[in-house]
C-alpha cells in the first residue's frame, strides 16, 4: 500500500464523516436479506459495519442483542448485563437500542454512572469483579468498532469470563441474529426508551471508579508516583478520556491529558497512512500530534477509542513498535512479579515477533502460541495459568500482582501504566530496555503487508494441510516447520505459518475484505525479510493455480 500524500497531517473538513447523515442512516436504512455484506458477521472483535453500507443499523443491533439474550438464557446466565459504549457516532444510538431490547426481555442492565462512556477493559474487569462475589453470573456487551474510522460501528459480547466470546458463542449469536433479520425481526422484543428506563431494570454504577480503585493491584502505581515520571496522555478522542484524569488524581501521578476533546467526527486526528481518519495508537501517522509533544514528557501514552490498545511513545525512541513493547513488558514482568507461580506460561499470537519467544525461553517459562484473536488467551488468564497474553496489534493483558485475573480482554490502561512502572522502577525507558533485548537476542526485522485474495486463494487457505505443501526451502534456508495449527492449542490458524532458522512468514485471509495478510520476520536483514515476503506471495499464488 502506497503512503497517502497527507499521511500524518491534520484532518481537513473534506476528510470528515457526515455525522447527521450517518445517524439518520442508522435509523432509516435496513439490511437486505439477499446481501451477504449486510448480514451479521463476527470477526475476531465482534460485528462491525457502517450504517451507510447497511451493515450496522438499528435492525442489526436489535437482532444481535436479542440473539445474545437467547444465548444467555440457554447458558444459564441470569445476572446483570454490563453495557458500555465508546465515542464513535454510532455507538450511542446502538447503546440505547440495546437497552430497549434488554429491558423488553427483562434483563437487568448495569451502565456507567451518568450514562458515560465505558472502555472495554473497565467492562471486562467489572464482569470479573461481579462474578467473584455473586451467586449469579453477569456478562457484558460493548458498542465499539475499536480503532476503526468514524463512520464505523461495532458490537462485541463478553461472556461471564469477562473476555471476548469464543467462536462457538459468536457463531450461535450471528446465526440467530441473521435468522431474525431474514424474518423481519419476528421474535425480537423491544420497548421504547422511556418505557425501558421506567422499568427500573437499568442501574447506573461507577464502574470506572471501581476499576481505578483496583488498578493498584496490577500496577505499582506507588512507584510511578514516587518517581515523578512525567506522563502525557492522549485518549485520541475515545472512552479513556473518562478515566485518565481520574487515574492521575487518585494515585498522585504527574499526568497531563494533552487532548480531552470528544468529537464524533474525530476531526482533531492526523490522517493514517492511507489517508483515512483512524484512531490507531500503533500508527506513527495517526499519532503524529502526540509524537510532536514527546519531548515535553518522560513518556507519552495513548489508547484507541475503547481503550483496549496501547501506544507507547518514549522521548529517546519515539513510538514503540507494538512487538517491541510486548517483549519489554514480558521481560520486565517475569522479573518483577515475585508472587506469580514459577514457570507460568506466556501467551502470544503466532504472528507476533520471534524475539518474544527468545525472551520467554531465556526466562525459563513456557510459550503459549495461538492464532490471531485475543479470545485464545481468556481461559488461561481466567484460571491464572497464563501470566500474559499479547497480540502484535498493540493489545495485551496480564495478571495482577498476586497472580489473579484482572481483565481478560485487551487492556490499554494497564499496559500504558506498565510502561510508566518500567521507567519508574528501572530508571530507563521501555525503548532503552528494548535496546538491551536487541543487543542480547539480535535485531529483528518485521513487516506486515496486504495482498489481493481471489476466490481460489481463499478456497486454498481453507483446505491447507502441511503435508500437501511441497516446499523444502524458504529464502535460502531449510524449512523447519509448516504450520496450519497453532503450537500452543492446536487451533486452526485459518492460513499457514512457515518457519526457518532465521525467519518466518504467516498468511491468513481477511474475513471482511478481498485481501490476505502476510506477516514476516527476519533475524538477519531487511533484504532477507523482503525475500521472505516475495517468496511467500509466490507460494500462495501457486496454491491456487
Domains of the chain: 13-205 (3.40.120.10), 211-441 (3.40.120.10), 445-543 (3.30.310.50)
Q: Span 407-420, mean pLDDT?
A: 98
Kindly report which listed range (208-217, 291-300, 494-503, 511-520) carries the lowest average pLDDT score. Answer: 511-520
Question: Hey, what's the torsion of the CAs at 18, 19, 20, 22, to 10 degrees?
Answer: 90
CB atoms within 10 A of CB 454: 12
Q: Span 300-321, mean pLDDT?
A: 97
Q: Which residue from 153, 148, 121, 322 is spatially nearest to 236, judged by alpha carbons? A: 148
Q: Span 79-98, mean pLDDT?
A: 98
Longest dimension (CA), the chain: 69
* Cell 519489554 sits on residue: 328
How high is the pLDDT of residue 386?
98
CB atoms within 10 A of CB 372: 23
CA distance 349 to 376: 9
How high is the pLDDT of residue 469?
76
CA distance 291 to 281: 11
Kindly report which listed range (87-101, 468-482, 493-507) carries the lowest average pLDDT score. Answer: 468-482
Q: Edge-to-edge, what's the strand order for the sheet holding 515-522? A: 445-452, 515-522, 503-509, 492-499, 481-485
Kindly report which listed range (275-284, 346-355, 403-412, 536-545) carries the lowest average pLDDT score. Answer: 536-545
How high is the pLDDT of residue 512?
60
How high is the pLDDT of residue 457?
83
Residue 466 in this model has a pLDDT that exceeds 80: no
Q: Which residue from 85, 87, 103 is spatially nearest to 95, judged by alpha carbons? A: 85
DSSP letters, 3-18, are PPTTTTSBP-GGGS--
Instruction: Decide: pTM greater than 0.85.
Output: yes
pLDDT digits (tens, 9 = 90+) for 232-275: 999 999 999 999 999 999 999 999 999 999 999 999 999 999 99
CA distance 308 to 372: 16
Q: What percent of the chain has pLDDT over 90?
A: 91
Q: What are phi and psi of 104, to 5 degrees?
A: -65, -25
Q: Is 146 a catalytic site residue?
A: yes
Question: Hey, what's the torsion of the CAs at 124, 125, 126, 129, to 10 degrees?
Answer: 130
How high is the pLDDT of residue 344?
97
Residue 280 in this model has a pLDDT that exceeds 90: yes
CA distance 504 to 480: 10
How high is the pLDDT of residue 515?
83
Q: Which residue from 21, 332, 235, 485 is spatially nearest to 244, judged by alpha carbons? A: 235
How high is the pLDDT of residue 1?
58
C-alpha cell read off for 242: 473518562
Residue 470 in this model has a pLDDT that exceeds 80: no
Q: What are phi and psi of 100, to 5 degrees?
A: -65, -35
Where does the pLDDT of residue 454 fall: very low under 50, low under 70, confident under 90, or very high at 90 and above? confident
pLDDT digits (tens, 9 = 90+) for 181-239: 999 999 999 999 999 999 999 999 999 999 999 999 999 999 999 999 999 999 999 99
Q: Please give the DSSP secondary-structure letter assigned to residue 2.
A: P
Q: Which residue has the higher pLDDT, 434 or 460?
A: 434
CB–CB of 521/497 below 8 Å?
no
CB–CB of 331/432 below 8 Å?
no
CB atoms within 10 A of CB 381: 28
Q: Which residue from 328, 304, 88, 125 is spatially nearest to 207, judged by alpha carbons? A: 125
Sorted by sequence, the CB contacts under 8 Å of residue 430 that are 6+ apart come out as: 299, 312, 314, 317, 320, 325, 328, 329, 419, 422, 423
How high is the pLDDT of residue 144?
98
CA distance 466 to 536: 15
Rg (CA), the chain: 23
Q: Which residue from 213, 278, 298, 312 is spatially nearest to 1, judged by alpha carbons? A: 278
Q: Span 352-381, mean pLDDT?
A: 97
Which of 45, 55, 124, 146 is catalytic? The answer is 146
Q: Span 9-14, mean pLDDT?
A: 98
Residue 542 in this model has a pLDDT that exceeds 90: no
Specify the DSSP element, H or E, that contains 363.
none
C-alpha cell read off for 162: 469477562
How high is the pLDDT of residue 540?
86
pLDDT digits (tens, 9 = 90+) for 525-538: 999 999 999 999 99
Q: Which residue from 495, 532, 544, 11 is spatially nearest to 263, judged by alpha carbons? A: 11
Average pLDDT, the chain: 95
Residue 513 in this model has a pLDDT that exceeds 80: no
Q: Span 5-28, mean pLDDT?
A: 98
How high is the pLDDT of residue 511?
64
Q: Span 501-524, mean pLDDT?
A: 89
CB–CB of 230/254 below 8 Å?
yes
User: How far from each other are the two terminal CA atoms of the chain, in whole angstroms?
Assistant: 25
The H-assigned helical ranges of 292-336 are: 322-336
364 Cα distance to chain centroid: 28
Question: Hey, what's the torsion of the CAs at 47, 51, 55, 59, to 10 degrees?
Answer: 90
How high is the pLDDT of residue 541?
84
Where does the pLDDT of residue 317 fall: very low under 50, low under 70, confident under 90, or very high at 90 and above? very high
Amino acid at each position: 500500500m502506497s503512503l497517502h500524500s497527507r499521511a500524518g497531517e491534520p484532518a481537513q473538513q473534506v476528510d470528515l464523516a457526515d455525522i447527521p447523515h450517518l445517524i439518520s442512516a442508522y435509523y432509516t436504512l435496513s439490511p437486505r436479506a439477499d446481501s451477504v455484506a449486510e448480514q451479521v458477521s463476527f470477526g475476531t472483535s465482534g460485528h462491525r459495519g457502517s450504517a451507510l453500507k447497511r451493515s450496522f443499523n438499528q435492525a442489526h443491533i436489535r437482532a444481535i442483542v436479542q440473539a445474545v439474550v437467547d444465548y444467555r438464557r440457554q447458558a444459564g446466565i441470569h445476572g446483570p448485563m454490563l453495557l458500555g459504549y465508546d465515542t464513535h457516532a454510532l455507538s450511542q444510538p446502538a447503546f440505547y437500542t440495546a437497552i430497549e431490547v434488554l429491558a423488553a426481555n427483562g434483563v437487568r442492565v448495569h451502565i456507567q454512572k451518568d450514562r458515560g462512556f465505558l472502555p472495554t477493559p473497565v467492562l471486562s474487569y467489572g464482569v470479573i469483579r461481579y462474578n467473584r462475589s455473586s451467586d449469579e453470573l453477569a456478562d457484558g456487551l460493548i458498542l465499539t468498532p475499536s480503532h476503526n474510522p468514524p463512520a464505523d460501528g461495532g458490537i462485541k459480547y463478553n461472556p461471564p469470563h469477562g473476555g471476548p466470546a469464543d467462536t462457538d458463542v459468536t457463531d450461535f449469536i450471528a446465526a440467530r441474529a441473521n435468522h431474525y433479520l431474514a424474518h423481519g425481526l419476528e421474535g425480537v422484543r423491544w420497548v421504547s426508551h422511556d418505557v425501558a428506563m421506567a422499568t427500573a431494570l437499568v442501574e447506573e454504577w461507577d464502574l470506572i471508579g471501581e476499576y481505578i480503585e483496583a488498578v493498584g493491584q496490577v500496577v505499582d502505581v506507588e512507584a510511578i508516583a514516587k518517581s515523578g515520571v512525567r506522563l502525557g496522555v492522549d485518549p485520541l478522542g475515545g472512552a479513556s478520556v473518562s478515566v485518565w484524569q481520574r487515574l492521575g488524581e487518585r494515585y498522585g501521578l504527574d499526568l497531563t491529558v494533552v487532548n480531552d476533546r470528544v468529537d464524533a467526527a474525530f476531526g482533531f486526528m492526523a490522517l493514517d497512512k492511507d489517508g483515512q481518519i483512524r484512531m490507531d495508537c500503533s500508527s506513527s501517522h495517526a499519532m503524529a500530534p502526540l509524537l510532536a509533544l514527546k519531548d515535553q514528557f518522560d513518556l507519552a501514552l495513548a489508547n484507541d477509542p475503547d481503550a483496549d490498545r496501547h501506544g507507547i511513545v518514549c522521548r529517546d525512541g519515539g513510538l514503540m513498535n507494538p512487538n517491541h513493547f510486548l517483549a519489554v513488558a514480558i521481560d520486565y514482568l517475569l522479573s518483577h512479579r515475585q508472587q506469580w507461580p514459577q514457570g507460568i506460561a506466556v501467551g502470544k499470537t503466532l504472528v507476533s515477533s520471534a524475539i518474544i519467544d527468545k525472551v520467554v525461553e531465556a526466562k525459563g517459562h513456557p510459550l503459549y502460541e495461538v492464532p490471531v484473536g485475543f479470545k485464545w488467551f481468556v481461559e488461561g488468564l481466567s484460571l491464572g495459568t497464563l501470566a500474559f497474553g499479547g497480540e502484535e496489534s498493540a493489545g495485551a493483558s496480564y495478571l495482577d500482582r498476586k497472580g489473579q485475573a484482572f481483565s481478560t480482554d485487551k487492556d490499554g490502561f494497564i499496559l500504558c501504566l506498565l510502561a510508566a512502572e518500567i521507567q519508574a522502577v528501572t530508571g530507563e525507558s521501555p525503548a532503552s530496555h528494548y535496546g538491551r533485548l536487541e543487543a542480547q537476542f539480535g535485531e529483528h526485522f518485521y513487516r506486515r503487508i496486504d495482498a489481493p485474495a481471489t476466490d481460489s486463494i481463499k478456497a486454498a487457505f481453507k483446505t491447507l494441510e502441511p503435508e500437501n505443501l511441497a516446499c523444502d526451502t524458504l529464502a535460502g534456508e531449510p524449512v523447519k516447520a509448516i504450520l496450519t495449527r497453532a503450537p500452543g492449542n492446536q487451533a486452526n490458524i485459518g492460513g499457514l505459518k512457515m518457519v526457518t532458522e532465521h525467519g518466518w512468514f504467516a498468511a491468513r485471509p481477511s474475513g471482511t475484505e478481498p485481501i490476505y495478510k502476510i506477516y514476516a520476520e527476519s533475524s538477519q536483514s531487511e533484504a532477507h525479510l523482503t525475500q521472505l515476503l516475495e517468496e511467500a506471495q509466490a507460494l500462495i499464488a501457486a496454491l491456487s493455480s
